[in-house]
């Protein structure tokens, strides 16, 4: 197993952990923040896969703008899931 | 009960997908389906046929320009739908207004300091997108993020004043318009839609124009999404 | 000889940066309240990342890459403390009060 | 990659997709459903980018001194368009949710589906 594989495997584990945490989370604001973390991990993986274009877009869209849009919605609908 | 049923469905589906995925060649092997057909041709074609050294841009703006046109139209349609469905001028749900926290002077100063650099970087990504990683969408997204950041710090009203409505009306549609123009120009000059005409400088000019249009369109779409979600005093 | 010296120095810088990140992460997991955790993580962001980038810049040598790395260091040095400040301010406004030993004997 | 781990990426992607689908199916909160939808989308993007990768490949940039083999540019272009469209979909869904909240006063699906007396 090369260091590259270890790196890949760690990121994949981080991704799955984040996704599971998002699924369990009752606090929607925390879920959105976790989704940002998830997006950043994904974009790390994509730089590693030789896709810098995609990684840049994902960093700006997934981690930045999506979170802002979600937060503005949460400000009006309440942050707790019933 | 319903959750258990959903879990069962998901597990069955995941099992089927696992079975399908295990038939694929392992990721990274050069004989995957993705690498064998047109991709090899695109890479061999190089800068001459593709029009841009960044092959992603070449695929987006030259080989698959029609697809990109469709996508640009999708984004524009989403923007129109958001603006139409948005709560502007309607009875709004009570917004849980946090008592106004004035912007910290530190944050305000730093954002003002950094904003020109971010804008420069976004422009660089758009204009150099056919050579280096980057391009219309990436740069446009960064530009949109910058505008959103500014409106978080300076207040949405300032941003609205920066983007006056009559100008916005046409600028929002710039990406589909420029794409349609390019398609027709290609048809007239070289015989097929989105053809890039011969002299190299003209090609590059067209590519940069397309990138700029995509970038501005994407940035304005993002700002439009943001403003209509944020809207308390939409005009 | 100087090559070796340079590489060693770069390695030391990168290792120090990683140490900062480790400390910051442990702090994030172990410290009792929002402000302490922020205190730990902001430092690892600012100092750790800058140290690692300095090491990388040393290895890259006099190159166009180095200019970009220096610009990156400047941006991180400016923006990371600002983000920490904004977070702490927002936390205070949202009603988090600093943890003190007298009020809560048991850290969570 | 070593033999047993060869399909690790694909397996992870399938797991992510399944988690997203589970969130979409079971959660009653509409915003949570949208987050689940986003996870599903990113899982699909992950699948496409991963299948476009070549071992030891470099980003598909000509004239930058990068050596072939290059990763497949088609996969990257597809995902690029996909990300931006996904964002548009998310924004539209969020605006619709705000509208539902304004009209019906709730964004929990089970409360919305209860027949009014």
Give B58-111 as a DSSP string. HIIIIITHHHHHHHHHHHHHHHHHHHHHS-TTSPPPPP--PPP-PPPHHHHHHH
* Mean per-residue pLDDT over chain A, rounded: 88
Q: Are D84 and B137 within 8 A, CB to CB?
A: yes
Tokens linked to B66: 């029609």
Number of separate domains in chain A = 1
Q: Give how far B115 is from chain C: nearest CA, Å.
A: 11
User: DSSP letter at B53?
Assistant: S
The pLDDT > 90 percentage for chain B reads 8
pLDDT digit string, tens, across residues B19-29 = 888 887 777 77
pLDDT band at B210 (very low <50, low <70, confident <90, very high): confident
Closest CA to B78 of B231, B227, B222: B222
Domain extent listing, chain C: 2-93
The answer to whether residue D104 neighbours chain B at the CB level (below 8 Å) is no
User: So what's the pLDDT on residue C105?
Assistant: 57
User: So what's the pLDDT on residue D34?
Assistant: 93
B14 CB-near residues (< 8 Å, 6+ apart) = D14, D15, D17, D18
**CA B156 to CA B161: how far, in whole Å?**
9
pLDDT digit string, tens, across residues A39-48 = 999 999 888 8
**CA B71 to CA B136: how far, in whole Å?**
13
User: So what's the pLDDT on residue C101?
Assistant: 74
Grouping H, G, I as helix, E, B as strand and the rest as coil, residue B186 is: helix
pLDDT band at D37 (very low <50, low <70, confident <90, very high): very high
Higher local confidence (pLDDT), A65 or B39: A65
Grouping H, G, I as helix, E, B as strand and the rest as coil, residue B123 is: helix
Chain C residues with CB-CB distance to B117 below 8 A: 75
User: So what's the pLDDT on residue D17?
Assistant: 93
Closest CA to B198 of B44, B41, B46, B49: B49
Residue ranges making up the domain that contains A14: 3-77
Q: Are D18 and B14 within 8 A, CB to CB?
A: yes
ipTM: 0.86
The answer to whether residue A74 neighbours chain D at the CB level (below 8 Å) is yes
> For tokens 């009653």, what's the residue?
D28
Residue B20 burial class via C-beta count within 10 angstroms: exposed 0-12, middle 13-18, buried 19 and up: exposed
Res A66 pLDDT > 70: yes
User: So what's the pLDDT on residue D102?
Assistant: 84
Does residue A61 lie in a domain region?
Answer: yes
**CA D57 to CA D64: how far, in whole Å?**
14
Higher local confidence (pLDDT), B135 or C47: C47
Tokens linked to B25: 């060649």
How many CB pairs below 8 A link A and B? Answer: 46
Least confident range of B39-53, B141-155, C59-73, D34-48: B39-53
Res D40 pLDDT > 90: yes
Region C21-47: mean pLDDT is: 87
pLDDT band at B46 (very low <50, low <70, confident <90, very high): low
Of B6, B93, B228, the CB nearest to D25: B6
Higher local confidence (pLDDT), D63 or B78: B78
Res A32 pLDDT > 80: yes
Least confident range of A57-71, B17-31, B58-72, B130-144: B17-31
Higher local confidence (pLDDT), B160 or C92: C92
| Per-window interface: A 43-82 vs B, CB < 8 A | 52-53, 56-57, 60-61, 64-65, 68-69, 72-73, 75-78
Res B186 pLDDT > 90: no
pLDDT band at C103 (very low <50, low <70, confident <90, very high): low
Region A50-61: mean pLDDT is: 88
Residue of D nearest to B54 (CA): D61
Higher local confidence (pLDDT), B169 or C81: C81
User: So what's the pLDDT on residue D23?
Assistant: 92
Res D41 pLDDT > 90: yes
Contact partners for chain A, using 3 or more CB pairs closer than 8 A, are B, D
Residue of A nearest to D25 (CA): A23
Does residue A82 lie in a domain region?
Answer: no
User: So what's the pLDDT on residue B8?
Assistant: 92
**CA D52 to CA D60: how far, in whole Å?**
11
The answer regarding whether domain D3-113 maps to CATH 1.10.287.3510 reads: yes
Identify from D52, D83, D93, D113 which residue to disrupt to test chain A contact, counting A C-beta atoms within 10 A and taking the largest count. Answer: D83
Higher local confidence (pLDDT), B3 or A32: A32
Higher local confidence (pLDDT), B131 or B68: B68
Does residue A8 lie in a domain region?
Answer: yes
Res B115 pLDDT > 60: yes
Contact partners for chain B, using 3 or more CB pairs closer than 8 A, are A, C, D
Q: Are B117 and C93 within 8 A, CB to CB?
A: no
pLDDT digit string, tens, across residues C56-74 = 888 887 778 888 888 889 9
Identify from D91, D96, D103, D110 which residue to disrupt to test chain B contact, counting B C-beta atoms within 10 A and taking the largest count. Answer: D91
- DSSP bridge partners of D108: D29
pLDDT band at D14 (very low <50, low <70, confident <90, very high): very high
Identify from C42, C81, C86, C95 which residue to disrupt to test chain B contact, counting B C-beta atoms within 10 A and taking the largest count. Answer: C86
C50 CB-near residues (< 8 Å, 6+ apart) = C17, C73, C76, C77
pLDDT band at B87 (very low <50, low <70, confident <90, very high): low
Higher local confidence (pLDDT), B100 or B59: B59
Chain D residues with CB-CB distance to A28 below 8 A: 29, 31-32, 35
Higher local confidence (pLDDT), A1 or D12: D12
Cα–Cα distances (Å) from A18 to A36, B31, D15, D22, in that order, read: 10, 32, 12, 14
The answer to whether residue A51 neighbours chain D at the CB level (below 8 Å) is yes
Res A37 pLDDT > 60: yes
The answer to whether residue B233 neighbours chain A at the CB level (below 8 Å) is no
Res B91 pLDDT > 50: no
Q: Are A57 and D84 within 8 A, CB to CB?
A: yes
pLDDT band at B101 (very low <50, low <70, confident <90, very high): low
**CA B223 to CA B144: how far, in whole Å?**
6
Q: Are C93 and B101 within 8 A, CB to CB?
A: yes
Higher local confidence (pLDDT), C41 or B231: C41
The answer to whether residue A7 neighbours chain B at the CB level (below 8 Å) is no
* Mean per-residue pLDDT over chain B, rounded: 80
Cα–Cα distances (Å) from B3 to B10, B108, D76, in that order, read: 10, 47, 36
Higher local confidence (pLDDT), A47 or B133: A47
| Per-window interface: D 12-51 vs B, CB < 8 A | 13-15, 17-18, 21-22, 25-26, 50-51
User: So what's the pLDDT on residue D42?
Assistant: 93
CA B118 from chain centre, in angstroms, equals 17
Tokens linked to B145: 């993020």
Res A29 pLDDT > 70: yes
User: So what's the pLDDT on residue D36?
Assistant: 93
Q: Put residue B159 in one of left, alpha, beta given phi > 0 → left and psi -120 to 50 → alpha.
A: alpha
Q: Put residue C45 in one of left, alpha, beta given phi > 0 → left and psi -120 to 50 → alpha.
A: alpha
Give B12-46 as a DSSP string. HHHHHHHHHHHTSPPTB-TTSHHHHSHHHHHHHHH
> For tokens 């009603």, what's the residue?
C95
User: So what's the pLDDT on residue B105?
Assistant: 85
User: So what's the pLDDT on residue A78?
Assistant: 81
Q: Round the CA-based radius of gyration of chain C to a whole number and report it.
A: 18
Region B162-167: mean pLDDT is: 72
């Amino acid at each position: 197993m090369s260091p590259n594989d270890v790196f890949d495997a760690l990121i994949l584990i981080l991704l799955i952990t984040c996704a599971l945490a998002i699924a369990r989370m009752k606090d929607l604001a925390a879920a959105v923040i976790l989704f940002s973390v998830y997006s950043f991990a994904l974009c790390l993986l994509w730089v590693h896969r030789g896709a810098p274009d995609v990684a840049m877009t994902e960093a700006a869209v997934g981690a930045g703008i999506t979170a802002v849009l979600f937060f503005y919605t949460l400000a009006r609908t309440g942050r707790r899931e019933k | 009960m319903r959750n258990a049923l959903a879990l069962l469905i998901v597990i069955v589906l995941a099992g089927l997908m696992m079975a399908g995925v295990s038939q694929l060649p392992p990721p990274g092997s050069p004989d995957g389906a993705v690498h064998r057909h047109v991709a090899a041709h695109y890479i061999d074609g190089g800068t001459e046929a593709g029009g841009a050294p960044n092959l992603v841009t070449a695929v987006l703006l030259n080989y698959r320009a029609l697809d990109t046109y469709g996508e640009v139209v999708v984004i524009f349609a989403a923007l129109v739908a958001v603006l139409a469905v948005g709560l502007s001028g309607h009875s709004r749900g009570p917004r849980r207004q946090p008592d106004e926290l004035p912007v910290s002077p530190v944050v305000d100063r730093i954002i003002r300091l950094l904003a020109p650099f971010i804008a420069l970087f976004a422009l660089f990504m758009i204009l150099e997108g056919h050579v280096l990683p980057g391009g219309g969408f990436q740069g446009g997204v960064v530009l949109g993020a910058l505008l959103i950041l500014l409106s978080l710090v300076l207040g949405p009203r300032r941003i609205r004043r920066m983007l006056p409505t009559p100008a916005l009306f046409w600028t929002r549609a710039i990406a589909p318009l420029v794409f349609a123009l390019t398609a027709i120009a290609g048809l007239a000059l070289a015989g097929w839609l989105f053809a890039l005409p011969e002299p190299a400088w003209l090609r590059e000019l067209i590519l940069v124009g397309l990138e700029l249009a995509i970038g501005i369109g994407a940035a304005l779409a993002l700002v439009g999404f943001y403003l209509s979600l944020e809207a308390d005093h939409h005009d | 000889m100087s090559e070796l010296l340079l590489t060693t120095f770069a390695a030391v810088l990168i290792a120090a940066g990683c140490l900062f990140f480790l400390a910051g992460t442990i702090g994030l997991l172990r410290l009792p309240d929002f402000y302490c955790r922020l205190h730990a993580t902001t430092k690892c962001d600012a100092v750790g990342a800058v140290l690692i980038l300095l090491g990388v810049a040393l290895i890259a040598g006099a190159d166009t890459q180095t200019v970009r790395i220096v610009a990156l260091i400047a941006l991180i040095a400016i923006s990371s403390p600002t983000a920490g400040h904004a977070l702490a301010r927002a936390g205070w406004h949202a009603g988090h009060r600093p943890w003190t030993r007298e009020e809560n004997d048991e850290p969570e | 990659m070593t033999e047993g781990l060869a399909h690790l990426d694909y397996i992870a992607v399938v797991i992510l997709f399944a988690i997203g689908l589970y969130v979409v199916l079971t959660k009653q909160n509409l915003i949570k459903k949208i987050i689940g939808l986003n996870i599903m989308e990113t899982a699909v993007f992950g699948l496409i980018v991963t299948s476009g990768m070549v071992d030891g490949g470099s980003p598909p940039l000509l004239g930058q001194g990068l050596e072939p083999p290059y990763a497949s540019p088609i996969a990257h272009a597809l995902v690029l368009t996909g990300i931006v469209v996904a964002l548009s979909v998310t924004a539209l869904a969020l605006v619709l949710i705000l509208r539902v909240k304004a009209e019906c006063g709730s964004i929990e699906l089970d409360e919305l589906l209860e027949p009014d007396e």
